[in-house]
Chains A and B, each alone.
Chain A
Amino acid sequence: MEIKREKVGGSGEATGDFRIRQLRARDLLRGDLDGPDLERHVEERVLATTLERALNWARSNALFPATFGLACCAIEQISLVTSRYDVARFGAEVFRASPRQADMLILSGRVSIKMAPVVRRIYDQMLEPKWVIAMGACSSSTGVFNNYALVAADKFMPVDVHVPGCPPRPEALIHGILKLQHKIQGHPDLGWRSRYHAEGTEELPHPNVVLAPPAAGEPS
C-alpha cells in the first residue's frame, strides 16, 4: 500500500503555509498588516458565535460525573477512566466525590425502592445545569429484576440518555456520553428513522391502537 504524505490543511494560497501564517500574525502584532491581508487574517482567525453556544460547547466538553456506582454496571463505569477507554478524551474523566461539584449522574445499576430516595437526594444536591445517564437495563426499565423491589429511574427523576445493555460495554457508555454532549450543544439526536430517512417503515400497529397524526416539528 502506498502511503501519501500531505501537509495538514492542504497546500496553496487558500490556507497558506504555516510559516506564512506565522509571519502574518507577527505582522499583525507589529501593526504592519493592512488591506486584503488583514481581511483574510481576520477571516481565518476569528470565529463568531453566540455566548450560549460557546457556553454549551464548554459545558459539554467538561462533564464531571459524580462518583456513584449502584451495581454491576459500576464496574464498566469504573473502567471508563482506565487507559484502555480513556474517557478523558471527551472531558468526562473527573469523577467528583461530591454531588455538588458534579454535572452528570450515571445511574450504573439497579435502583431499589429503598435506594430511590437516596438517588433522588443526590440528584437534588447537584447544581444546575445537571444531566443524568441511565446506564443499563435495570435503571432504565428494571431489566431482569422486574419485581417488587426495584423501580425504574424515570419514575422519580428526569433522565437524559438511556444506555441499553446488561451491562453496557464502556464503549456504549462513551457513546451515551457523546449523545449527551450533542444534546447539551443543542443538537438532540433524532431517532434512527430520521437519520436514515426511513420514515414510514414503522411496524403496523395493533388494530386497537389509534394513531394520531404527529404534531408539527415532532420527530416521527
Chain B
Amino acid sequence: MPDPTGLELIANELRERRPDSIAGTLHHRGIATLVVDPGHVLGVLTWLRDDPLQRYGFLASLHACDYLPHEPRFGVHYELLNMDRVERIHVKALLGDPGASELPAIDSCVELFPTADFQEREAFDMFGIEFRGHPDLRRILMPEEYEGWPQRRDFPLGGEPVLFTHNEHQMPRWYE
C-alpha cells in the first residue's frame, strides 16, 4: 500500500499530467484510494500500469457499488496490484444516475486488462453500468431475458412473500 504521502505524490503527478483527472484521494484503514473523474479513468489506469515507477500491472478486482442516497450514485472500483512490491492501490470512479431511461456509462478497460472482461459483464449485469467499448457486453449471471438490475439499492428484494400468522389472511387457504 502506498502510505498517505505516497498516495498524494501519485495524485499530484497525475494532476500534472492530466488536469482534472483526480477528484480526490482517500486513505482509510490502510487502503489508498484515488477518486478519479470517470472520463479520465482509462488514462489513469494506463499510467498506473505502464509508468516505470508505478507498475501496477495486475487488476485484482473490478466491481461496482450503489450509494443510493448519495450523489453521484454509482461507483466503479478498480483494485490494482503491483506484484513485485506487493502494493495495492484502489481507483474509484463515481458515476451519476442519468435517469431511468439510460444507463450510467464509463470506458471499458478490457484493452488494458483482459481480466476485466467478465468482471465488467458482472457489473453490467448487477448494476446496469454500461462499459463503452466492451467487446461483448451481455448479462453473465442472470438469464439473458431478465429485466432490471438486481443489485441496485432501489431494486425490490423479490422472492416469495413469506406467510406468518400476522399476514396469512392476505392469502386465504394458503395451507391447501
Contacts and interface: CB of A to CB of B under 8 A. Distances in A.
Chain B associates with chain A: yes
B159 A208 contact: no
B150 interface: yes
A152 B160 contact: yes
Given A114-B142, A148-B150, A149-B142, A209 B160 contact: no
B143 A148 contact: no
Contact of B143 (A114, A150, A203, A208): A114
Interface in B139-158: 141-143, 148, 150, 155-158
A209 B141 contact: no
Interface in A133-162: 141-142, 145-150, 152
A7 interface: no
A146 B160 contact: yes
A210 B172 contact: yes
Given A113-B143, A114-B143, A148-B150, A209 B159 contact: no
Interface in A168-220: 203, 205-212
A142 B143 contact: no
A209 B168 contact: yes
A146 B157 CA distance: 8
Contacts of B160: 141-142, 146, 152
Given A146-B159, A146-B162, A148-B157, A114 B141 contact: yes
A146 B158 CA distance: 7
A148 B172 contact: no
A147 B141 contact: no
Contacts of B141: 114
Contacts of A206: 165, 168-169
B173 interface: yes
Given A114-B142, A149-B142, A142 B159 contact: yes
Contacts of B165: 203, 206
B150 A209 contact: no
Interface residues of A, number: 20
A209 B173 contact: yes
Interface in A87-136: 113-114
Given A148-B150, A149-B150, A208 B169 contact: yes
B39 to A, nearest CB: 32
A137 B142 CA distance: 22
Nearest to B166: A206
A210 B169 CA distance: 10
Nearest to A141: B160
B84 to A, nearest CB: 39
A205 B171 CA distance: 12
Nearest to B146: A113
Nearest to B171: A209
A189 to B, nearest CB: 17
B68 to A, nearest CB: 17
Contacts of B156: 148
A150 B150 CA distance: 12
Contacts of A147: 150, 157-159
Given A147-B158, A210-B172, A210-B173, 16 more contacts: A113-B142, A113-B143, A114-B142, A114-B143, A142-B159, A142-B160, A145-B159, A146-B159, A148-B159, A149-B142, A149-B158, A203-B165, A206-B168, A206-B169, A207-B169, A209-B172
9 contacts: A113-B143, A114-B142, A142-B159, A142-B160, A145-B159, A148-B157, A206-B168, A208-B169, A212-B173
Interface of A: 113-114, 141-142, 145-150, 152, 203, 205-212
**Closest 8 interchain pairs by CB?**
A148-B158, A146-B159, A206-B169, A208-B169, A148-B150, A147-B159, A209-B172, A114-B143
